[in-house]
């Protein structure tokens, strides 16, 4: 479902009036349409299938090197993401670190950031975003284990309330064999660069 830009623009115009501004003054005249265009981008993941980027898998036993079966995790670090907090409609942004223990199928590494992008392009909370990424990868790849670590800065923390500009929120979502803290210790060390 596409964002209804006309309705968003009309609502933004109403908000400007509600805060005591003149939406027809030169600096604000184009603001409703600009916000509508930004929201079309910010919320482009609404209604999209997050598993679609994972549809093209590679068999590890029948692939180009069938004698080379993965014994450990596949880890992709520092995937940049941005989203919008559903509580205040303020942005949050950070990095995702994704690891999975392959079963029979692996996926091209470029597919993992696409999953993050689709799920982040919705009104979100960070905790749910990590869980959705983990669930999507676990289901689509039949992985033996999945670990998703998100580290983000939230504008609702940096700009309002406690106004803590350096505060970062870190969340962990784990599935399968990586749900046990001892099993994911090595991966956490690789993500953070410090011993677990």
* CA pair distance 117, 113, nearest whole angstrom: 6
Q: Find, among 188, 186, 189, the residue nearest to 72 by Cα.
A: 186
156 is in an annotated binding site: yes
**Beta sheet of 123-124, edge-to-edge order:** 123-124, 74-85, 91-101, 145-154, 169-176
DSSP class of residue 90 equals -
* Contact indicator for 107, 56 with CB cutoff of 8 Å: yes
* CA pair distance 78, 152, nearest whole angstrom: 11
SS3 per residue for 73-86: CEEEEEEEEEEEEC
87 is in an annotated binding site: no
56 is in an annotated binding site: no
DSSP codes joined into one string, 1-31: ----HHHHHHHHHHHHHHTT--TTSTTTTTH
* Contact indicator for 89, 12 with CB cutoff of 8 Å: no
List, as residue ranges, the binding site for Zn(2+). 85, 88, 156
List, as residue ranges, the binding site. 85, 88, 156
């Amino acid at each position: 479902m596409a964002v209804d830009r006309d309705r968003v623009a009309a609502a933004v115009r109403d908000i400007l009036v509600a805060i005591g501004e003149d939406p027809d003054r030169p600096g604000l005249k184009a603001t409703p349409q600009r916000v509508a265009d930004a929201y079309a981008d910010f919320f482009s993941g609404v209604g999209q299938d997050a598993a679609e980027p994972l549809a093209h898998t590679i068999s590890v036993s029948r692939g180009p090197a069938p004698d080379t079966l993965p014994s450990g995790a596949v880890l992709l670090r520092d995937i940049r993401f941005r989203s919008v907090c559903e509580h205040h409609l303020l942005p949050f942004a950070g990095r995702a670190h994704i690891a999975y223990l392959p079963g029979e199928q692996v996926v091209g590494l470029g597919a993992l950031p696409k999953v993050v992008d689709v799920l982040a392009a919705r009104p979100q909370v960070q905790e749910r975003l990590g869980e959705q990424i983990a669930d999507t990868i676990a289901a689509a790849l039949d992985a033996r284990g999945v670990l998703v670590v998100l580290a983000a800065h939230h504008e609702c923390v940096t700009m309002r309330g406690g106004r803590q500009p350096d505060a970062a929120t870190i969340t962990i979502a784990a599935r399968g064999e990586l749900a046990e803290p001892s099993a994911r210790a090595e991966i956490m060390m690789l993500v953070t660069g410090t011993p677990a």
